[in-house]
Structure 1
Amino acid sequence: DLPGVMADMNEARYYPHGGAYAHVVGYVAKVSDNDVKGMRERGEEIPSILYNPGYRIGRVGLEKALDEPLRGEAGGNRVEVDVRGRVVAEDMAGSKPAVQGSEVVLTLDNDVQQRALEVFGEEAGSIVVMDVRNGDILAMVSSPSFDPNLFVSGVPSRIYRALADYERRPLTDKALAGTFAPGSTFKPVVGLAAMKRGLDPTRRIVCNGSFYLGRRFACLGRHGALDLRGAIKASCNVYFMTLATEMGPDAIAETARDMGFGQTFDIGIGGQKAGLVPDREWKRRTYSGEQKTWYPGESPSYGIGQGALTVNALQLAVYTSRVANGRKAVMPRLIKSIGGVEQGSNAFADLPYDPQMLQVLRDGMEAVTSAGGTGFRNSQLGLGTVQMAGKTGTAQARNYGAGSRKGAGRPWSQKDHNLFVAYAPTDNPRYAVSVIVQHGGLGGGTAGAPRAREVMKVALLKDPEMRARIEQSGFEAQEDAGVREAEARGEPLDGAATDTAAPAPLVEPAR
């Protein structure tokens, strides 16, 4: 209507780290009719800034969850200019100062986060790193990732379809929404449930390679007589199948929930899936007829982290943090502050278990990463007296029948999932890590452990106290001597238990 007058507007969101934070931070996109319609239906007042051409709102991740505090308020100056465009007057009554959105600070550490994505390479899966003392999440990565900058100005349909159709699902946040059977990483939970119900951890159960209950359940090894610590070290199926059959599902489910499974956490971001912790009530609620009954033959698989049980990487990190802490039910925290106001609290509830019971689990997990343990070779940090304890895991992705579970030659989608959980240092735990390598193949010590090792090293070396301790220990000579000593004794570098396979060195991507 006014010749020579035009509106010129440009707004942009730029993500400098590309895919490293794509799933956590999310991205923004243009406001749609459906967005405005949804606000009206909820009875919300429509902010005038949403009507500005090209304005963008949060679509997923923290961008969506914190859209309002990040948004701020639009402002502008109403001015009069001469023919040369120079301001000659300002209408103060018609001007409105802009209000900047609140600054949001996360607990994530950029170096740990970047390394976590880097070590995945082309593999699919997730890594979560937590501080076991205060619950701060130092890294939460889902791989493969994507560049959120593509979505700011509108991603071309061909690129979106390529991302959406790729079998490794880069648009899915596998750390929160990817649920998998935990496999043998769940065995310490079964041991803890049994101790709560009177199990003497020194009780020995004989493993002859099989467990029989209506049918044969295999254990990939003949471990002989083992106590709880030894069963965790060897990842003996027979031991934990026996405990699960004796206790039943309800006892296991109770302890699993105490340790962080079957629930979501208030970390300020949506899209979490709680997974499933099955028990008798769940079967009654879910099925009909004869299927409503929990049969004894279902318990052996439950005892080794299979069956209907599913978890996500964040839950595995919380569980590992609680084992490492030994006393407190550590809760995760992602948002450190909003607008300068501290978020979250370190006042955690006490774990409903005797700390000595948690110590038994830690003893077993420390043995996993010692000579002869299922995760020995690929879990060595090489940082002198600073050692890492962990638990390997393999989760079946399909029923193999009488066939081999080895992944060689199989299509990617038919290989087992590869898991590893760990904490360090063993003598005074500070950091916990969980790794899920989707279809990573048989043996949690082969794909999960080396990735956990590399990420844990970054977290430890960035900690000033840990770095000082490492530098004082002359660690290179100690590490080499330890490996040579184990080999001289004739001890295997990787045990012949459920979660073992030939060690696969981590391929270092270009930096």
Structure 2
Amino acid sequence: MFFAGLQLGTAGLLAGRLAWLTIAENEKWQLLSESNRLQLSLIPPRRGLILDRRGQLLATNKSQFTVDLIPDRLQDASSVMAKLAAILELDTEDLERLRSDLNLARGHQPVRVASGIAWEDYAAISVHLPELKGVALSRAFVRDYPLGAAGSHLLGYVGAPSREEYEETGDQFLMVPGVQIGKDMLEKTLENRLAGKPGARRVEVTARGKVIRELDIRPDEIGETVTLTVDRDLQTYAARRLGPQSGSVVALDLETGGILAMASMPAYDPNSFSDGISQSEWDMLSQDERVPLRNKSLQGLYPPGSTIKPITALALLEEGVAPQETVVCTGRVRIGGGTFHCWRRSGHGVVDMNRAIAESCDIYFYLMGVRIGMQPIADMARRFGLGARYPDLPVPYQYYGTVPDPEWKQRRYGEPWQVYDTVNATIGQGYLLANPLQLAVMTARLASGRAVAPELLAEQETQAPSLRIDPAHFAIVRQGMSDVVNGRGTATRARLPLADIKLAGKTGTAQVRRITMAERRRGVRSNASLPWRLRDHGLFIGYAPIDRPRYAVAVVIEHGGGSAAAYPIASDVLLHLFDKELAMERLAEHEKDWGGGIEERMARETVAYAAQ
């Protein structure tokens, strides 16, 4: 009876437990059972398209096979990496990168092994997948940039989320294998619009993880399509026309403020960043003295040189200086105990305002600038966009430069303003600094008489209000800028080869060092014999047509030796807006002399650097 009771009690306990598991906890164990045989995975979304003003693609997506490592699933990292290296032919540099990325990654943060692999390699890894614990295969969409290097500093690039980015947001979406997020420029600032929403896939698997069948799939939602003000053809042309030079081209539509082109060269191929850039390529880019990773259009700050003279002239007119008043330029002048020189050693002779602008006489602006003082000149420069930051522009950074005045110098250096500070500022030297975008805005305002503000998103283009400056004053300055190109000015070779369209502009040469008296006696200013970093910057601003201004352009060539390096580029960029075929013929001749276009030169530089 004792043993019978013990048996009955045990049976009762087992029956009760069985009933509890099968009835009370039925849902819990059913879900756990399902999770043992079902696998849920997220599908990275496709990013939204970026289009130019005519609907042409600037950034799109392409399908490719990718291989990732999931750190917290790896059981034998060395063995897995050795097998992947054998299949994918990974070299030592690739393996070192993987080890470094694995050390920095969170437990379930995917680490990209390779992307764009061939179908044969994808199939080979699939066969060995049960023994490659921690390897994730996917057929994903990656970013593709048809413009290549020509659009890198405009569009930016994408890449896998970093550990810091995940910890900052805590967004689980960033842990999806194959997901890419914006890292720079528009890809970064428009991330919320371009990102899209991930899809999901549910498959039935064996205990060893082998897929038996696909049960259900929820497609991803592609991100929003964004249309820019940019003209794709002009953007490509501007980048190619810069050629081997280091500098920037910015072109604006005067009617709307839309940025038609914003090219910075040298640059990098954003497709390389999307696919995973190699260490040697990164070293080459980061160590280049021309700084291809810097967006010179927004981050480059340069003395505007003589391109500021139309602004100085407007300030003179506003302060009551008559345009017919003259000064005598002998090539040098004593002001405040110091000697200041004109760029023309022999001088310009008798100079009025029109000739001072057209032939860029420094002495005229020295004397007249000192006469009215710095404050009116600084105020006018700010009205024309210098020193300004544009909060509505969707960019991650803007270096806004300096428009100095007595209050600024006292605040910055604790020193009073001196007369020589005014002398330097009247010709765009000294403390005065601007980026190429600001110079383009200044040009647009000079040409239109309106407070044009730059825009990159097509939906934000608007008409700008008037600057409320006397039209007669504008007419005087514009005539001087016309004579720079079409008269006896400093850029007559910039004339457009079109009978019915003329451009107006202003040249500029910005010193990067002090010219010694010995050099002045020898007539040496800047030449090819000097080291690249010691040569003057070359600048040019211009607009066309003269009679009904529609487009403005600003070109800055770093250490180009003078304005002669800049105004042919500006002329060709404006020509492209009126006659593409003729502009392309000119470009073909230049690229023949340079030994190919952007991609060919970048390939040669990469090979040369690797060999070194």
Cα distance change on mapping 1:143 and 1:84 into 2, 3 Å: closer
Asked whether 1:58 is paired with 2:176, we answer no
Q: 1:249 aligns with which of 367, 370, 374?
A: 374
Residues 59-99 of structure 1: per-residue CA shift (max 9 Å, x gap): 11101101111001111243569999665x54xxxx64522
Over 3 Å off, 4+ runs: 1-8, 77-87, 505-511
Which residue in 1 is equivalent to 2:503?
388
Which residue in 2 is equivalent to 1:211?
333
1:190, 1:243 within 8 Å by CA — same for their partners in 2? Answer: no
Q: 1:310 aligns with which of 423, 433, 446?
A: 433
SS at match of 2:343: coil
Residues 215-255 of structure 1: per-residue CA shift (max 9 Å, x gap): 21111332222221111001000111112111222111110
Q: 2:158 aligns with which of 11, 19, 28?
A: 28
2:158, 2:273 within 8 Å by CA — same for their partners in 1? Answer: yes
- Matched ranges for 1:227-242 at <5 A: 227-242=352-367
Q: 2:285 aligns with which of 163, 167, 188?
A: 163
Distance 2:553 2:590 in 1: 17
Distance 2:490 2:211 in 1: 77
- Matched ranges for 1:260-271 at <5 A: 260-265=385-390, 266-271=392-397
Residues 301-336 of structure 1: per-residue CA shift (max 9 Å, x gap): 11100001010100010000011112x101111111
Distance 1:272 1:238 in 2: 33
How far is 1:346 from its partner? 1.4
Asked whether 1:198 is paired with 2:198, we answer no
- Matched ranges for 1:341-356 at <5 A: 342=459, 344-356=460-472
Cα distance change on mapping 1:392 and 1:158 into 2, 3 Å: same
- Matched ranges for 1:371-386 at <5 A: 371-377=487-493, 379-386=494-501
Which residue in 2 is equivalent to 1:284?
410
Cα distance change on mapping 1:75 and 1:422 into 2, 3 Å: same
2:203, 2:212 within 8 Å by CA — same for their partners in 1? Answer: no
How far is 1:142 from its partner? 0.3
Q: 2:516 aligns with which of 401, 406, 418?
A: 401
Cα distance change on mapping 1:84 and 1:278 into 2, 3 Å: closer
Cα distance change on mapping 1:506 and 1:320 into 2, 3 Å: farther
2:136, 2:177 within 8 Å by CA — same for their partners in 1? Answer: no
SS at match of 1:203: coil
SS at match of 1:176: helix
SS at match of 1:350: coil
Aligned residue identity for 2:386 = F
Q: 1:8 aligns with which of 118, 131, 137?
A: 137
Cα distance change on mapping 1:81 and 1:155 into 2, 3 Å: closer
**What is the TM-score when the length of structure 2 is the normalising length?**
0.70
How far is 1:120 from its partner? 1.3
Which residue in 2 is equivalent to 1:459?
577
SS at match of 1:364: helix
SS at match of 1:13: strand
Residues 27-49 of structure 1: per-residue CA shift (max 9 Å, x gap): 0111111112223xxxxxx4332
Cα distance change on mapping 1:81 and 1:158 into 2, 3 Å: closer
SS at match of 2:445: helix
Which residue in 2 is equivalent to 1:429?
549
Distance 1:109 1:215 in 2: 49
Aligned residue identity for 1:28 = V
Which residue in 2 is equivalent to 1:478?
none
Distance 1:318 1:246 in 2: 28
Aligned residue identity for 2:570 = A
Asked whether 1:226 is paired with 2:226, we answer no
SS at match of 2:365: helix
1:369, 1:389 within 8 Å by CA — same for their partners in 2? Answer: yes
SS at match of 2:389: coil
SS at match of 1:108: coil
Distance 1:507 1:64 in 2: 33
1:277, 1:310 within 8 Å by CA — same for their partners in 2? Answer: yes
- Matched ranges for 1:328-339 at <5 A: 328-336=450-458
Which residue in 2 is equivalent to 1:300?
423
Distance 1:176 1:358 in 2: 28
Structure 2 gaps of 5+ residues are: 1-35, 38-128, 583-588, 598-612
Residues 433-463 of structure 1: per-residue CA shift (max 9 Å, x gap): 1000000003x1x11111011111111236x
- Matched ranges for 1:118-157 at <5 A: 118-157=240-279
2:203, 2:213 within 8 Å by CA — same for their partners in 1? Answer: no
Distance 1:75 1:303 in 2: 60
Distance 1:506 1:300 in 2: 39
SS at match of 1:78: strand
Distance 2:273 2:136 in 1: 24
Distance 1:299 1:506 in 2: 40
1:191, 1:243 within 8 Å by CA — same for their partners in 2? Answer: no
Which residue in 2 is equivalent to 1:482?
none
Which residue in 2 is equivalent to 1:49?
173
Aligned residue identity for 1:199 = V
Which residue in 2 is equivalent to 1:479?
none
Which residue in 2 is equivalent to 1:483?
none
Aligned residue identity for 2:357 = I
Asked whether 1:75 is paired with 2:75, we answer no
Once superposed, what is the RMSD of the aligned Cα atoms?
2.3
SS at match of 1:422: strand
1:450, 1:506 within 8 Å by CA — same for their partners in 2? Answer: no
How far is 1:406 from its partner? 2.9
Which residue in 2 is equivalent to 1:357?
473
SS at match of 2:222: coil
Structure possessing the higher radius of gyration over alpha carbons:
2
Residues 248-280 of structure 1: per-residue CA shift (max 9 Å, x gap): 221111100100000122321122100111111
Work out the number of aligned pairs and report it. 447
Q: Compare relative contact order (CA 8 Å, sep 6+) and give the higher one, 1 or 2.
A: 1
Q: 1:104 aligns with which of 201, 204, 226?
A: 226
Cα distance change on mapping 1:77 and 1:84 into 2, 3 Å: closer
SS at match of 1:432: strand
How far is 1:130 from its partner? 0.5
How far is 1:51 from its partner? 1.2
Distance 2:236 2:353 in 1: 37
Residues 201-221 of structure 1: per-residue CA shift (max 9 Å, x gap): 222222222221112111133
Question: Which segment is superposed worse, 148-157 or 450-459?
Answer: 148-157
Distance 1:449 1:312 in 2: 17
How far is 1:352 from its partner? 3.2
SS at match of 2:200: coil
Of all paired residues, the percent bearing the same amino acid is: 39
Distance 2:211 2:422 in 1: 83
Question: Which segment is superposed worse, 236-245 or 194-203?
Answer: 194-203
Aligned residue identity for 2:177 = P
How far is 1:121 from its partner? 1.3
SS at match of 2:297: coil
